[in-house]
Each structure stands twice: as structure tokens, then as C-alpha cells.
Amino acid sequence: MPIYFYSTIDAYGCFSNFSRHGFELGGRYWPTAEHYFQAQKFAGTPHVEHVGRARTPKEAAERGRTRSVPLRPDWETVKDEVMRAAVWRKFETHGDIRAVLLGTGDEELVGTPPATTTGAAGQTAAGGTCWVASSWR
């Protein structure tokens, strides 16, 4: 049976990119996976620091979604690997949440933003599927 997660206060909230499980990656400390992911959209520019200094993961997401600063040219090609690296490092750094992850066994892990679902598990309003995170293990 799939395990759905999104909010940081849910049973599997530690799986959220907004969970406060910081890590070091690329020579810098990141307070959340969301901070890292959003900042990497602007690798090699001063905007990386602007995103990285956001007080909350929500603020980091907002700063990363700005289109007043151009995205790195290869973003569509590298974004999945950027996310993989952040999530891997997060779970590598924090043994407590690594144990939660490993405790899910072979269950499918699905990040499902509640505002985008149409009622069908894993289905977005646009008809696509939600983010599946089972490859973390």
C-alpha cells in the first residue's frame, strides 16, 4: 500500500523537502532539501546565496520560483539529479529519519501536494502523476 506524504507534521513528514533536516553539500550547509533544490536553479550566480539564506523552506521555494533571475541553462536536464543528491545527503546525515525511511520496506512513497490532487491517489489536477520517492532506498 503506498505511503503518501507532504506536510512536515504528518507521520512521514521527515520525507518532505521542507523538513528541518539540514545537511552539507557542495561546500555549504543547507537548512532543508528545499533550500538546496531551489538554490541549484541558479548555480554559479549570487542568487544561490539569496535562496540559501531564506528563513524558511517556503521562502526558499518562493525565491527559487522567481523568474526575474534566469534559471541555469541545463536545469531541466539536471533537476532530478539535484533532488536525488539533496535527498540522499539528508538521509545519509540523519540516522533517525534514515531508520524511518528504511522502515517503510518496499512500500511506494508518494509526495502528494493536497491542493493539486483530484481525488485519485497520485493523480494531479493536470493529469500527471505526483512525485514518487521510492528510489530513495
For 20-56, write each residue's pLDDT tens digit. 999 999 999 999 999 999 999 999 999 999 999 999 9
Closest C-alpha to 6, from 88, 113, 122: 113
Whole-number Å distance between alpha carbons of 63 and 129: 25
Closest C-alpha to 106, from 77, 68, 136: 136
What are the residues facing 28 on neighbouring strands?
25
Pairing relation of β-strands 28-30 and 23-25?
Answer: antiparallel
Work out how many domains the chain is built from and give that number: 2
What are the residues facing 117 on neighbouring strands?
124
Across 26-73, the runs of DSSP E, i.e. the strands, are: 28-30
CATH number of the CATH domain containing 58: 1.10.357.40
Cβ within 8 Å of residue 113, ≥6 positions away: 6, 130
What are the residues facing 24 on neighbouring strands?
29
For 81-92, write each residue's pLDDT tens digit. 999 999 999 999
Q: Which domain holds residue 60?
A: 22-93
Residues 26 and 10 occupy one common structural domain: no
Whole-number Å distance between alpha carbons of 115 and 2: 19
Q: For the whole prediction, is pTM greater than 0.75?
A: yes
Residues 26 and 71 occupy one common structural domain: yes
The answer to the question of residue 102 being in a domain is no
